[in-house]
Amino acid sequence: MFTFETSDQKEVRRFRIAQFNGRTATVRSAGSSVTGHVRSIVENKSSVPAAWTITIIPEAPKPTIALRPASRTRSFMEDFH
């Protein structure tokens, strides 16, 4: 799990929307990024200005797919000529 604190209301809103919709969210910090599902967003009520602690469960990076050149195949319309 990856936990961080932020006081940016727009960022918190983005994470709440991602959590509600079950989408992944990406956090960029110190030159690295973490992508995963938002597990929790907790407001720190004693903090001024307001701050939230966000917990993300990272996803394993998806393997890259090597693209190969397309082969020449007959198109659907060539069958009718």
The pLDDT tens digits of the residues spanning 30-79 come to 888 899 999 999 999 898 889 999 999 998 777 777 776 666 666 655 65
**Cis peptide, bond prior to residue 58, ω within 30 of zero:** no
Distance CA 5, CA 12 (A): 10
> Cα 56 to the chain's mean position, in Å?
10
Beta-bridge mates of residue 4 = 54
* Residue-wise pLDDT tens digits, 12-28: 999 999 999 999 999 98
pLDDT given for residue 32 in this prediction? 83
